[in-house]
Structure 1
Amino acid sequence: MSAIETVESMSKSERRRMKILQLLMEGSSVQIKDLADMLDVSLMTVHRDLNHLDREGLVRRVRGSVSAEKSLLFESSYNYRGKKQLEEKKALAKAAVGKIEPGNAVVCDDSTTTYHICDYIDAVTPLTVLTNAVPVLETLRSKPDVDLIALGGRYHRGYNAYFGTSCEQAIKSYHVDLAIMSTTTIQGLSLYTQDEQVLRAKKAMMSIARKKILLADATKFHFSALNYVADVTEFDLVLLTGSIPQENIDLLTDVKVKFEIV
């Protein structure tokens, strides 16, 4: 399913909430009454949508205005992100698992995309997996053919993962065959993320891997984020899915990035 088909399959309220998030990502804050005017809906409808987004930890309302939560400005809560682009994420993860060989040591980040390698990992065990992602740890802990290494640190509820200095030090004490990662956004040839602690963990994972694979669906090309992570040219393979803008495909081709569309 393409990104366009995914949007079309959403309910009217889901599309409206996505539009609200897009509007909030473009600026600091918006008056709620102005938001209603922009969307051409009633104040009651906007308040219902904001109540839903508030429960997801995505927005903050103060004195008649609303803004995206600063720490989640472009990287929404794990539970919210985990429900989006499911088919695309599974396709990317399945393709990534196809690049793993039995006996490899693999590090994977906290993204909701790389989580889905758990769905297909039985095909390439025995395997060593290092991760800071709680959902991956919980899913793989019962698999006897997976040597699971938890990268500790300070727990972040929004990302449902561990970060911080101790996590980064733990990562750097290992060397792995493969890093499987995703990103908040890709702008031009560069990866960006909103949170510095996520940035540091990703860079540490890249530094210990003999080979690096990036997973990205079409939505990764439509937003901005603050902190530069790396260039796509630093990855040995980029796996893409969905309706990737042609200008991005052309750019990857021009700089000879190895990529596959799955």
Structure 2
Amino acid sequence: MMDHNNSDATEDLSKAERRRQRIIQTLMSGSSAAIRDLAEALGVSLMTVHRDLAALEKEGLVRRLRGSVSAEKSLLFESSYNYRSRKSGDEKRRLAQAAASRLEPGNAVIIDDSTTSYHLCDYLPEIAPLTVITNAAPILERLRHVPEIDLISTGGRYHPGYNGYFGANCEKAIRSYHVDVAILSTTTIRGLSLYTPDEIVVRAKQAMMQVARRRFLLADSTKFQFSALNYVAEITDFDLVLLTGEVPPPVLEQLQAARVNFELV
């Protein structure tokens, strides 16, 4: 029999995490926000927002001061990758495993900087030999000693918030290759469009999509809950969309109507 108290507590925690992710995304696109405005945007009480901000402050992500909340860019960026990497770990692993199962020995694969894509490292050694191209520092570190993986770094300027390499040199390097598969994640999906807060990430992802024969998108259900500033691509641009979590039925219906090739894993 299900313990309803535990179920309610899990649901409450999930709602809190979603709110906190949305707060982080808001602050990453601006220097500060009024706490009252955050409460209104989130549709919750001031007390609830203050609890969320207290938790984020403890994580070292935000700073409260006289009715507003701010995040020093360096502080937020240095902490945000670690924060994101801890969330939805089981779902991210399922997505990565499903993507890896579609690869074949000998493939050349390009992988983005997302914390979801990082979990591919658990499964790629079993498929080797492979060529892996990435701008993600954690993937480069994890795979650098794996036999039969020809590991290629895109180079570029290091960005601590994404723990990866970006910029003109990164994009130029990506475009010098032609690969079998590109595996990407995204910050948000609104309708049939992908968005992310930072345009340097947009350019790297778009370059990866351009050089790939097939494109896989990995997305958990939280990707359908937020908005972000910069357009990346259409979900219909992907050959396979792997989803996990409680994806809202209207979203699934919209994907079916658009003839998106998607699977729930």
Query: Are positions 1:31 and 2:35 aligned together?
Result: yes
In structure 2, the residue matched to 1:19 is 19
Match of 1:148 in 2: 151
Q: Deviations over 1:58-113 (max 9, x none)?
A: x344443114667999xx81110000000000000000000100000000000000
Task: Call closer, same or farther: CA 1:49–1:148 in 2, change over 3 Å.
Answer: same
Q: Which amino acid aligns with 2:262?
A: F
Task: Tell me the CA shift for residue 144 of structure 1.
Answer: 1.3
| TM-score, reference length from structure 1 | 0.85
C-alpha separation between the residues in 1 aligned to 2:75 and 2:190?
19
Report matched runs for 1:158-197 at 5 Å.
Answer: 158-197=161-200
Decide whether aligned partners of structure 1 residues 96 and 69 sit closer, same or farther in structure 2, where only a CA change above 3 A counts. Answer: farther
Amino acid at match of 1:162: Y
Query: Which secondary structure does the structure 2 equivalent of 1:100 belong to?
Result: coil
Structure 1 unpaired stretches of 5+: none
CA shift at 1:52, angstroms? Answer: 1.5
Matched, 1:49 2:55: yes
Matched, 1:95 2:98: yes
Q: How many percent of aligned residue pairs carry the same amino acid?
A: 54
TM-score (norm 2): 0.84
Match of 2:3 in 1: none
Cα distance in structure 1, aligned partners of 2:134 and 2:38: 43
Question: Are positions 1:133 and 2:139 aligned together?
Answer: no
Decide whether the 8 Å contact of 1:7 with 1:15 is kept in 2. Answer: no
C-alpha RMSD of the superposition: 3.2
Residues of 2 paired with 1:42 and 1:224: CA distance? Answer: 19
| Aligned partner (choices 88, 112, 115) of residue 112 of structure 1 | 115
Report which structure shows greater RCO (CA 8 Å, sep ≥6): 1
Q: CA distance change for structure 1 residues 60 and 201 in 2, over 3 Å: closer, same or farther?
A: farther
User: The residue matched to 1:186 in structure 2 has which SS?
Assistant: strand
What is the match of residue 233 of structure 1? Answer: 236
Q: Which runs of 5+ in 2 are unaligned?
A: 1-5
2:246 is equivalent to residue 252 of structure 1: no
Aligned residues: 251
Report what 1:216 is aligned to.
219
Q: What one-letter code is carried by the residue in structure 2 that aligns with 1:84?
A: K
Question: Are the equivalent residues in 2 in contact too, given 1:71–1:194 (CA < 8 A)?
Answer: no
Matched-pair contact (CA < 8 Å) for 2:18–2:222: no
